[in-house]
Amino acid sequence: MAEHWYKNALIYCLDVRTFADGNGDGIGDFDGLRSRLHYLAGLNIDAVWLQPFFPSPLRDNGYDISDYYSVDPSLGTLGDFVECVRQARNLGIRVMVDLVVNHTSIDHPWFQAARTDPSSPYRDYYVWSPTRPPDADQGMVFEGEQRTTWSWDEQAGAYYYHRFYHHEPELNIANPAVRREIEKITGFWLQLGVSGFRVDALPFVIEMKGAPPGRREQSHEYLRELRHHVQTLCGEVCLMAEANLPPEEVEDYFGQGDKIHMCFNFWANQHLFLALARGQAEPLLRAYRQLPPIPPLCQWNNFLRTHDELDLGRLSQAQRQEVFEAFGPQPQMQLYGRGIRRRLAPMLGNDRRRLELAHSLMLTLPGTPVLRYGDEIGMGDDLSLEGRNSVRTPMQWSAERNGGFSTAPPRQCYLPVIAEGEYGYRTVNVERQRRDPDSLLDWLERMLRRRKEYRQFGEGACSWLDSGRPEVLAHRLEHGGRSLVLLHNLSAGEVPVSLPVEAIDGCNHDILSDRYCEAPREGRLHMQMEPYGYHWLERHERT
């Protein structure tokens, strides 16, 4: 059904500014994106999630918005956006956009009006205090870069609250007028053809710092209010939340299926990298068993990397150190004391076997996969760039200047394209891998196409199986009377696996290699799994 499309979707995340430059000024734009839509269709993508493209002073990569109702002029016009959405839909690709309403830019007209006039209706759009609150040195998102969450504004004669940078004042969601503004913002973009929103920093959106204590306890009710509004305007809409949730908070965000539709599974993601670091399945298996079931029409988002650092904040200090040592051992690879600012390929040593294993896990674990642009070709990172920019370099399309991203002089590019070394654009690019049937890109295209053929991945009931080996994660997905069994060896060694026949529900055919397993012996299926190996098994009779 169209309204549940997200359950079986493949989502691709990109930043318009760093994806493709259509006019040669060094900045990606909607003309450039439109010219690459057929590439995304060829990847079997169902939806593209666009990071902020709104007018912004760009102090925080566009997440500091100064106008919610327009397109940054450097990226094109509203007409260019609408044409891009139209052509995407013609290719079967839905468009999702970032909804960044926990804060605005300090340059937004709302904040400028609020700071200059205490009687302005926009004054209460933000959270103010005449004195510095006692908790001002707590709750910083960017440890090491932030010193406070309350900053003094000389013009307003008061302190204003900001969870993020001082130039991103927090919106007061407790104010009904702010909630009406969010309704207008979402309604505007839905009318222009978008199918959903990735809600940025959702826990901070509903924090309601400006509400009386009793009102704050009802903050999660706002999720029902927002869901009802967008669902009324567009039946197929999807709210995809960025919320780093511990297991005990899951129910508050999904509700009875009447709050958010999907949520990024940060809990599983962090334990997945701990499992990869150890070469053991137990951390990931334990993480999933700790998560409560979610309502039938809700979904988790599986991912490997995003546009931010790999956040390990939910791991213990000892566990976090294990992941640091495995994937980001040098101080310049780490960020905020909790994360790794590297791309997937460098973290995994550009080992093709490990890259395939990681992507197979993302595609087969319960949920909807979100693929980060460039990971399909194994792009690298640039640790010489500041902070998170290390993983935000432009897409590498070809061996031409600037990797085919732009015809502008290299110094004019929005961010420098990786030019040298193992991950330089002459070595790692789309065109080169398109011509190579053994490339990572060609492999991933086949995997994505295969996944789309089986509804078990998006809608199947999951049961975890005992593989008999600590290195191997085994699970079964069942939907409509059909099962798939997925096996992943997280270790660098060859491992024997033994599974009870009744547990695998007769699944004996590897749909990736078109090979059959050996006949069961003594009621068990026996297999040898190669280092970092993976198998997708279905029930299939030999002919």
- Contact 163/102 with Cβ under 8 angstroms? yes
Which of 451, 482, 501 is the last residue before a domain boundary? Answer: 451
| Of the candidate ranges 260-264, 315-319, 391-395, 538-542, the one whose mean pLDDT is the lowest | 538-542
Annotated active-site residue 31? The verdict is: no
- Contact 10/452 with Cβ under 8 angstroms? yes
Residue 385 lies in a domain: yes
Which of 119, 136, 161 is the last residue before a domain boundary? Answer: 161
Residue 206 lies in a domain: yes
Q: What is the CA radius of gyration of the chain?
A: 24
Residue 290 lies in a domain: yes
CA distance 62 to 54: 7
| Of the candidate ranges 69-83, 264-278, 299-313, 505-519, the one whose mean pLDDT is the lowest | 505-519
Same domain as 115, residue 83: no
- The HSE-up count of residue 389 (CA atoms within 13 Å, CB side) is 15
Which of 451, 470, 501 is the last residue before a domain boundary? Answer: 451
Same domain as 399, residue 464: no
Residue 166 lies in a domain: no
Annotated active-site residue 200? The verdict is: yes
Instruction: Tell me if residue 188 falls in helix, strand or coil.
Output: helix
What's 269's DSSP letter? H
Same domain as 336, residue 261: yes
Same domain as 240, residue 119: no
Whether pLDDT at 531 is above 80: yes
Q: Which residues constitute the domain of residue 146?
A: 109-161
Q: Which of 29, 60, 200, 375 does the annotation list as catalytic? A: 200
- Contact 111/153 with Cβ under 8 angstroms? no
Residue 525 lies in a domain: yes
Same domain as 496, residue 434: no
Instruction: Tell me if residue 337 falls in helix, strand or coil.
Output: coil
Token reading at 77: 């016009």
What is the bridge-based pairing of β-strands 238-241 and 461-465? unpaired
Residue 543 lies in a domain: no
Per-residue pLDDT of 180-227, as tens digits, reads: 999 999 999 999 999 999 999 999 999 888 776 655 556 789 999 999
Structural domains counted in the chain: 3
Whichever domain contains 130, its CATH number is 3.90.400.10
CA distance 130 to 441: 56
pTM for the predicted model, two decimal places: 0.96
Per-residue pLDDT of 327-345, as tens digits, reads: 999 999 999 999 999 999 9
Whether pLDDT at 178 is above 60: yes
Same domain as 229, residue 144: no
| 2 vs 262, more confident | 262
Q: So what's the pLDDT on residue 328?
A: 98
The set of residues, in sequence order, having a beta carbon less than 8 Å from that of 218 and lying 6+ positions away, is none
Per-residue pLDDT of 442-465, as tens digits, reads: 999 999 999 999 999 999 999 999
Residue 59 lies in a domain: yes
Whichever domain contains 520, its CATH number is 2.60.40.1180
Whichever domain contains 373, its CATH number is 3.20.20.80
Given pLDDT bands bounded at 50, 70 and 90, which one contains residue 522? confident
Mean pLDDT of the chain: 95
Q: So what's the pLDDT on residue 518?
A: 83
Same domain as 406, residue 518: no
Q: So what's the pLDDT on residue 218?
A: 63
Q: Which of 21, 72, 207, 242 does the annotation list as catalytic? A: 242
- The CA-based angle 510-511-515, given to 5 degrees, is 45
Given pLDDT bands bounded at 50, 70 and 90, which one contains residue 161? very high
Whether pLDDT at 543 is above 70: no
Q: So what's the pLDDT on residue 541?
A: 64
Same domain as 483, residue 428: no
Instruction: Tell me if residue 169 falls in helix, strand or coil.
Output: coil
Same domain as 400, residue 335: yes
Same domain as 497, residue 410: no
CA distance 87 to 97: 16
Same domain as 356, residue 267: yes
Q: So what's the pLDDT on residue 29?
A: 98
Per-residue pLDDT averaged across 479-491, rounded?
A: 96
Residue 167 lies in a domain: no
Same domain as 90, residue 8: yes
